[in-house]
Amino acid sequence: MTEATFLPAERAKLQSNTNPSPRSDPMKLRHVIESQQFTLPLLMELFTRSRGMERIVARGGSLDYQNRIMAALFYQPSTRTRLSFEAAMQRLGGRVLSTEHARAFSSEVEGEQVEDSIRIIGSYSDVIVIRHNETGGAHRAARVSPVPVINAGDGDGGQHPTQALLDLYTIYRERSLDGLSVAFIGELDKGRTVRSLAYLLAKFERIKIFFVSPPELQMKPDILEYLDEHGVRYELESDIDRVIREVDVVYQTRIRPERMKDTQNLKRYAIDSAVLQRMKPDAMILHPLPRTVELDKTVDTDPRALYFRQAVNGLYVRMALLTMVLEK
């Protein structure tokens, strides 16, 4: 029986299992590398902790991790993810070692492999957060690291599990995750945020996903095959109007114009005030940010626009993840 087909009673039992015995310890996280590694009880534990982190931040933070060091090793530029992780560690009372241009300024310029870098940096820190330019870079780091590794995005079309976790948490704070209909819109084939979130959504019941994209940028077969294996319904679309009236969640991503065959159609994949009028009154609009022309600023004041709250939730989820991997 797959996770996507649990009976209600079995699901309730799983979701209530947030205090396992130390012997089995299914809640123990060593590394955070991909969305598939998260079980339903692990997700519920993460969400419970994230709610607790909201209260901790509201009172100014904690000193519980004042003797812990997080190394943030970013081989690609990042603003939101890197600062979110750094703020998360500091809100927990910990300290941060950080570089945003590891690919340019580290010894890897001279040919040092990521494995060697991780072995050394792991001796300086208690947890490593890595964004790597190659798909699979976080896997390589985790195989040799003496400390937990958290994947902050790898490659062009790899995964970004912590973004997907905060996306899911944002939805969870508003409604039940079972029975959702979700439209992913934009550049999907190399969209590591939508790929990671699709893996997570497959763990819930009665999910329906619409992949809305120009044909040349549609979701790759590996994700579609995974959804087939887990009994998740999905449709491939090229027109927002065909799905916008029925979905509960609109997950908008950007499209790089140079990747489109016909840039005149770029507006067909954008959300503006006209599209808002056709959406369900209680729908949610999410975006991993940064945005360009695909999400008009007139959308910002609509109560269904949750992307700034989504970004704030990233702080709480990443704080929770850090506590989970740093537990002895």
**Could you tell me the domains of the chain?**
18-158+314-326 (3.40.50.1370), 175-305 (3.40.50.1370)
> Is there a contact between 20 and 27 (Cβ–Cβ < 8 Å)?
yes
Bridge partner list, 234: 209
Q: How far apart, in whole angstroms, are the C-alpha atoms of residue 38 and residue 314? A: 17
Averaged over 222-235, what is the pLDDT? 96
Contact between 319 and 85 under an 8 Å Cβ cutoff? The reply is no
Q: How far apart are CA 268 and CA 81, in angstroms?
A: 29
For residue 112, what pLDDT is reported? 56
Residue 186 region by backbone torsions, left for phi larger than 0, else alpha for psi between -120 and 50, else beta: left
CA-based diameter of the chain, in Å?
59
pLDDT category of residue 71 using cuts at 50, 70 and 90: very high
How wide is the angle at C-alpha 313 spanned by C-alphas 307 and 316, nearest 5°? 170
Examine the pLDDT at 307 and tell me if it is beyond 90: yes
Tens of pLDDT, residue by residue over 20-32, are: 333 345 567 899 9
Spatial strand order in the sheet of 127-132: 95-99, 69-74, 127-132, 149-154
The rounded distance, in Å, linking the Cα atoms of 23 and 31 is 19
Give the pLDDT confidence of 89-105 residue by residue, as tens digits.
999 999 999 876 555 54
| Percentage of the chain modeled with pLDDT above 70 | 86
Q: In what order do the strands lie in the sheet with 208-212?
A: 233-237, 208-212, 181-185, 249-252, 284-286
Rounded to 10°, the helix 221-229/192-201 angle is 10
* 328 membership: H or E segment, kind and range: none
When pLDDT is cut at 50, 70 and 90, the band that residue 292 belongs to is confident
Using the predicted structure, report yes or no on whether residue 14 has a pLDDT greater than 50: no
Per-residue confidence (pLDDT) for residue 35, from 0 to 100 = 96
Q: Read off the amino acid at residue 267.
A: K
DSSP codes, 28-58: --S-B--GGG--HHHHHHHHHHHHHHHHHHH
